[in-house]
A and B are shown apart, each in its own frame.
Chain A
Amino acid sequence: MKAVCWQGTHNIQVETVPDPKILNPRDAIIKVTSTAICGSDLHLYNGYNPTMKKGDILGHEFMGEVVELGSAVKNVQIGDRVVVPFTISCGSCFFCNRELSSLCDNSNPNAWMVEKVMGHSPSGLFGYSHLTGGYAGGQAEYARVPFADVGLFKIPDGLTDEQVVFLTDIFPTGYMAAENCQIQPGDTVAIWGCGPVGQFAIRSAFLLGADRVIAIDRVPERLQMAKDGGAEILNFEEIEVGDALKEMTGGRGPDAVMDAVGMEAHGMGLEGFYDQAMQKVGMESDRPNVLRQAIVACRKGGTVSVPGVYTGFVDKMPMGAFMNKGLTMKTGQTHVHKYLHTLLNHVQDGKIDPTFVISHRMSLDDAPHGYQIFKDKKDSCIKIVLKP
């Protein structure tokens, strides 16, 4: 089959590889019909994950048709049309029992690698480095899904791929990030990053009752899309974000702040230079400009929600502001399984049409070009769906 393979920093290739096989009784094989490129894939593309290996198959946002089932999968049929959460969960451990599927104990065969750094390991993830299991991803013609009896969600007839493919990650991610803002009536939420995750977070914040959303980025078409979603917008290259937020909220600050950017945040001035330099020499693995800014901007007693991905260490965290202002931080890889049904209902009920975020549709063969324009934000690229 054809698959999108990582071959090094800024080097991905579409290769012919063997078809996946059933390896465990609870596995299924999916014929992929749609798969997307995620901002998380860019961290791998940009070489920020040292546990990538040449030949690794990328992709964690995919859906398709069931073509083969392991002997223990009884609740799905061959031919079913399904979406696949990017977090791999066993469905029966302490964490899965509590609907914390991205914290599953049993799906990361390389848990030891993570335990060394983080103490404990999160769940396995598709196509997301050997740190999270080294599972072959879904930017391919076929993909193997472990624990398929809990990792496949049937899609009702009448919904297109493009309406449901983002249920695999970015819609639940934006939604959980908004839920993590602990929104109360009348609340203002400030969201850094108007990528696909930020876009879904904006719309989810309104679904969850936010009075006002202020969205921050610098890419014009992304800011425009945020505005279309009902947000007020700030361009961080044109305005000092902290001051602006304070002015816009009567001096009090946003009730909740969200970092939907993560470890490759674009920094301004001396601070941005410092973090770039530290990251280059390996003194700091992640650049936390947005996190710092968000903590300082947040109102006293407010909430900091962090869907943006970090993998290692950050420097100069404003812990004083965080502690003395009595803030709460909520974060994590998304517990996709928990949100999938609710959000599928929202799509069916027409409360949201997730296709708004798609800027490009391509064949699998064009993936290398897709990664490049998505990274460089060229050609007004916001979200790419690949059709194998």
Chain B
Amino acid sequence: MELQSNSTTDPKNNQPENLSDTERWGSLLTGSALVLTGLSQRSLRGVLLAIAGGGLAYHGAAGQKSLQDTVTEAAGLNQRIRVEKTVTIQNKSPEELYRVWRDFENLPTFMRHLKSVTVLDDRRSHWVANAPLGASVEWDAEIITDQENQLIAWASVAGADVDNSGFVRFQSARADRGTEVKVVIEYSPPGGGLTAAIAKLFGEEPEQQIGDDLSRFKMLMETGEIATTEGQPTGHH
């Protein structure tokens, strides 16, 4: 901290916001930074793409803001929902956990809002999630980065009902204390109007939803099952 305040060339002041954000995001992905909170408003998708080095079908999303983006941002409409959660899992290596997660078809077992995930090929998958009133929302996702046993990053492709992106990182905890699993997921409504719909989709609390998903992943990995009381008897209520 002191070094920075003494410095006359504080990178924060001299560099364009996007670049330093990208660096910080990058260090989060590689594991040298531990906490996301406080990071920029820049979209996760953009950062993931920038780090992957481009070359994917939906370039435009990475860099410059479109006019529509600028307008919705100015109007405060684009409240992206971004969630960051970490758990530590005992007695399982990053490799073992990575392998379970990398088969996206396993995800609905512990991610309760997902109806199904169908793997289409090595990079593409089709996701169906529950929406209120028995409806569902669907999207295709593509893997942006896949670092074996360490990191998987994905984003929905054009035409998604809900634009979203995320990554999961597996990292040995310090001092042999299990494996830390960090998940960051972001839902970005295109025009703002969807924010409410997404909130509904996640029962108002996407943060809690992802947290619960991750707890269930941990239960499954540590105990072989997911603790439940669904189906137990009760008296009249």
Q: Could you list which residues of chain A lie within 8 angstroms of chain B, going by C-beta atoms?
A: 1, 3, 5-7, 13, 15, 17-21, 23-26, 53-57, 72, 88, 90-94, 97, 105-109, 111-112, 115, 124, 133-136, 144, 146-147
Point out the residue from A55, A94, A107 that lies within 8 Å of B178, measured CB to CB. A94
B235 touches A24 (CB 8 A): no
Beyond A3-B235, A17-B235, A112-B212, is A106–B222 a contact (Cβ under 8 Å)? yes
Q: Could you list which residues of chain B lie within 8 angstroms of chain A, going by C-beta atoms?
A: 88, 90-91, 177-178, 208, 211-212, 215, 218-219, 222-237
A94 touches B229 (CB 8 A): no
B229 touches A108 (CB 8 A): no
Beyond A90-B223, A94-B90, A112-B211, is A19–B229 a contact (Cβ under 8 Å)? no
For A21, A56, A94, which residue has the most chain B Cβ atoms within 10 angstroms?
A94
B228 touches A57 (CB 8 A): no
B229 touches A109 (CB 8 A): yes
User: How far, in angstroms, from A173 to B143 measured CA to CA in the complex?
Assistant: 52
User: How far, in angstroms, from A124 to B211 measured CA to CA in the complex?
Assistant: 17
A134 touches B229 (CB 8 A): yes
Beyond A54-B236, A54-B237, A106-B227, is A94–B88 a contact (Cβ under 8 Å)? yes
Point out the residue from B211, B212, B235 that lies within 8 Å of A56, measured CB to CB. B235
Point out the residue from A23, A91, A93, A136 that lies within 8 Å of B234, measured CB to CB. A136
Point out the residue from A15, A26, A92 that lies within 8 Å of B90, measured CB to CB. A92
Chain B neighbourhood of A15, CB < 8 A: 235-236
User: How far, in angstroms, from A111 to B230 measured CA to CA in the complex?
Assistant: 15
Point out the residue from B177, B178, B211, B234 that lies within 8 Å of A57, measured CB to CB. B234
User: How far, in angstroms, from A135 to B91 measured CA to CA in the complex?
Assistant: 27
A93 touches B90 (CB 8 A): yes
B236 touches A26 (CB 8 A): no
A25 touches B225 (CB 8 A): yes
Distance in angstroms from B203 CB to nearest chain A CB is: 11
Chain A neighbourhood of B222, CB < 8 A: 90, 92-93, 105-106
A3-B233, A93-B223 known; 7 new pairs, CB 8 Å cut-off, are: A23-B231, A57-B233, A90-B222, A92-B222, A106-B223, A108-B227, A109-B229
A57 touches B227 (CB 8 A): no
B232 touches A24 (CB 8 A): no
A54 touches B90 (CB 8 A): no
User: How far, in angstroms, from A296 to B53 measured CA to CA in the complex?
Assistant: 65
Distance in angstroms from A248 CB to nearest chain B CB is: 46
What residue in chain B is nearest A15 (Cβ atoms)? B235
Beyond A94-B177, A112-B208, is A26–B225 a contact (Cβ under 8 Å)? yes
User: How far, in angstroms, from A93 to B212 measured CA to CA in the complex?
Assistant: 17
For B218, B231, B233, which residue has the most chain A Cβ atoms within 10 angstroms?
B233
Chain B neighbourhood of A53, CB < 8 A: 234, 237
Distance in angstroms from B126 CB to nearest chain A CB is: 29
Point out the residue from B212, B219, B225, B229 that lies within 8 Å of A135, measured CB to CB. B229
A24 touches B225 (CB 8 A): yes
Point out the residue from A18, A25, A146, A147 that lies within 8 Å of B233, measured CB to CB. A18
User: How far, in angstroms, from A321 to B202 measured CA to CA in the complex?
Assistant: 47
Beyond A13-B235, A57-B233, is A92–B228 a contact (Cβ under 8 Å)? no
Chain B neighbourhood of A17, CB < 8 A: 233-235
B218 touches A106 (CB 8 A): yes
Chain A neighbourhood of B219, CB < 8 A: 90, 106
User: How far, in angstroms, from A108 to B223 measured CA to CA in the complex?
Assistant: 13
User: How far, in angstroms, from A93 to B215 measured CA to CA in the complex?
Assistant: 12
Beyond A92-B91, A97-B90, A112-B208, is A5–B234 a contact (Cβ under 8 Å)? yes
A23 touches B235 (CB 8 A): no
Chain A neighbourhood of B236, CB < 8 A: 5, 15, 54-55
Distance in angstroms from A110 CB to nearest chain B CB is: 9
B218 touches A23 (CB 8 A): no
Distance in angstroms from B223 CB to nearest chain A CB is: 4
Point out the residue from A54, A134, A135 that lies within 8 Å of B235, measured CB to CB. A54
